[in-house]
């Protein structure tokens, strides 16, 4: 095993989490602010539509009050003129005077009990034919009430558009039915009046009865006058509340509008005023697109910057790892160097002490290596060390423990949780493996490169504070004994705390035989 120099990816993970959080925060913040701005615009439009509906309701109340007063005056005049020698002249003068004062009232006429006109119509204007059979005339004949009644819209007799009849009964001096006074309002004239309140060309204004009958509308829709029902979202809600707002497309032109409704005083009428979403949100969509573009650009810059920073950190981390690797790696053999081995020994020593395990140290020295360099040259010596290191690192020996080049032609192998007898056996296998490489060495008695190995074992938990130093010293002394006893052999150092009691052994020397 070699020293672990794998890089930590924790900074990259945190960077990605932070960037992702910032991106989500930016997008959520932009979305929330744009939605809040939209709702603010819509709420303001609801308020504006409510103000417009109240203003038009006030106008409608005044208009119908004027028509009521005019018809009341004409009814009084008709009653007074019924005993006059020339009633037509008196009534006609009163009508001309009233119509001149209030041009929104299309016509004002008085009829007797048989349906005969008592006033002269405007030139070219004839509102009624067969009025004695009209529903409102029959209703006034048999109803003693004398108040103003708003009738269903009807087509003018001359085909000149839709009119709204406002009828009132007048009585003779004896209280009997004298006739009917009828004022008419032009639905189209009201639509033209409502047009003055459309500042963007997309507003919608309607005047209708509480039962849902359309009396007037802008934009003008003559085909819908008098028969359209259910303009409101719920007629029950409209009847229950004096005013309100709702959002829905128009059933006539399909335009989505923010609608407000307002009852017209004590009359059975309701005014609806609507502002189109297209107008209300006209400035919102471009600003939203601008904010969205800016937010996306920020997100792209943030992500791009994070990727650049991540690559930089990765490159820097790789360079750091490479430097760390070089600092703990032997350049010639690729094994851990002395520094790496010392750190590994301290780590393994502490772990073995905590777990009550034993450790063994093998120190290897290439026999007569100076002679090898002198005979074959230093490049050949380097190649020899590389072959031995490769053999040690690619076999079971390098897997079982911490392997390193200890210095010069020396190698070290630290074994964990291995008994002294097993450590001795493994050391002999290492010796044989190197011998079997058959690297030519004329300066060695064997004729090939061989190694001498010193083995020492100890239980860290039972050793003193200088136990690791004792282990290294014992292995080094065993190595020198192996050299002194002829090389190409293994010697094991005896230590009182080297192994478990039943594993204690006397020095063993293994030769090549």
**Torsion, Cα of 73, 74, 77, 79 (10° steps):** -110
To 10 degrees, the CA torsion angle through 383, 389, 391, 393? -150
Annotate 181-239 with DSSP letters as a single string.
EEEEEEHHHHHHHHHTT-SSS--EEEEEETTS-EEEEES--TTTTTT----SS-HHHHH
In what helix (H) or strand (E) does residue 256 lie, and over which residues does it extend?
strand 256-263
CA–CA separation, 126 and 160 (whole Å): 9
Say which residues have a Cβ less than 8 Å from residue 357's Cβ, sequence separation at least 6.
351, 416, 417, 459, 460
The verdict on whether 114 is a catalytic residue reads no
Four-CA torsion 39, 41, 42, 43, nearest 10 degrees: 80
The 3-class secondary structure across 123-164, one letter per residue, is CCCCCCCCHHHCHHHHHHHHCCCCCCEECCCEECCCCCCEEE
Cα 394 from Cα 130, distance rounded (Å):
120
| Type and span of the H or E element at 22 | helix 10-81
Q: Which of 98, 127, 348, 409 does the annotation list as catalytic?
A: 409
Is residue 453 within 8 Å of residue 415, measured between CB atoms?
no
Q: Chain centroid to CA 120: how far?
A: 73
Query: 119: burial class by Cβ within 10 Å (0-12, 13-18, 19+)?
Result: buried
Sign of CA dihedral 56, 57, 58, 63: positive
Catalytic residues: 409
């Amino acid at each position: 095993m070699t020293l672990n120099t794998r890089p930590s990816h924790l900074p990259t993970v945190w960077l990605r989490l932070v960037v992702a959080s910032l991106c989500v925060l930016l997008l959520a913040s932009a979305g929330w602010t744009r939605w809040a701005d939209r709702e603010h615009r819509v709420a303001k439009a609801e308020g504006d539509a409510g103000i417009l509906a109240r203003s038009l309701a006030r106008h409608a109340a005044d208009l119908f009050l004027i028509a009521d007063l005019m018809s009341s005056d004409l009814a009084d005049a008709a009653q007074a003129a019924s005993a006059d020698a020339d009633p037509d002249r008196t009534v006609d003068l009163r009508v001309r005077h009233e119509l001149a004062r209030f041009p929104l009232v299309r016509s004002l006429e008085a009829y007797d009990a048989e349906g005969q006109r008592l006033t002269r119509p405007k030139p070219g204007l004839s509102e009624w034919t067969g009025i004695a059979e009209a529903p409102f005339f029959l209703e006034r004949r048999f109803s003693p009430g004398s108040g103003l009644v708003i009738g269903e819209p009807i087509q003018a007799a001359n085909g000149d558009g839709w009119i709204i009849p406002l009828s009132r009964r007048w009585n003779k001096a004896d209280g009997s039915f004298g006739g009917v006074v009828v004022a008419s309002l032009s639905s189209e004239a009201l639509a033209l009046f409502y047009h003055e309140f459309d500042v963007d060309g997309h507003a919608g204004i309607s005047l209708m009865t509480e039962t849902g009958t359309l009396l007037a509308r802008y934009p003008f829709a003559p085909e819908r006058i008098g028969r359209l029902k259910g303009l409101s979202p719920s007629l029950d809600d409209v009847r229950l509340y004096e005013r309100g707002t709702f959002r829905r497309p128009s059933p006539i032109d399909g335009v989505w509008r923010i609608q407000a409704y307002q009852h017209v005083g004590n009359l059975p009428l309701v005014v609806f005023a609507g502002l189109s979403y297209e107008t209300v949100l006209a400035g919102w969509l471009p600003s939203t697109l601008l904010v969205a573009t800016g937010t996306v650009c920020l997100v792209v810059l943030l992500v791009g910057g994070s990727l650049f920073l991540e690559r930089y950190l990765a490159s820097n981390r790789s360079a750091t790892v490479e430097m760390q690797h070089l600092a703990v790696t032997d350049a010639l053999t690729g094994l851990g160097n002395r520094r790496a081995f010392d750190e590994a020994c301290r780590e393994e020593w502490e772990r073995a002490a905590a777990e009550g395990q034993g450790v063994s140290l093998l120190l290897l020295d290439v026999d007569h290596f100076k002679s090898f360099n002198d005979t074959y040259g230093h490049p050949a010596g380097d190649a020899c060390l590389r072959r031995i290191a490769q053999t040690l690192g690619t076999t079971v020996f390098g897997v079982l423990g911490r392997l390193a080049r200890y210095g010069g032609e020396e190698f070290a192998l630290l074994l964990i949780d291995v008994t002294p007898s097993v450590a001795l056996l493994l050391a002999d296998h290492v010796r044989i493996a190197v011998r079997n490489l058959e690297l030519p060495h004329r300066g060695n008695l064997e004729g090939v490169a061989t190694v001498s190995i010193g083995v020492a074992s100890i239980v860290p938990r039972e050793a003193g504070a200088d136990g690791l130093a004792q282990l290294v010293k014992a292995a080094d002394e065993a190595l020198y004994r192996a050299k002194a006893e002829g090389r190409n052999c293994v010697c094991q150092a005896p230590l009182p705390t080297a192994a478990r009691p039943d594993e204690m052994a006397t020095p063993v020397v293994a030769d090549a035989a």
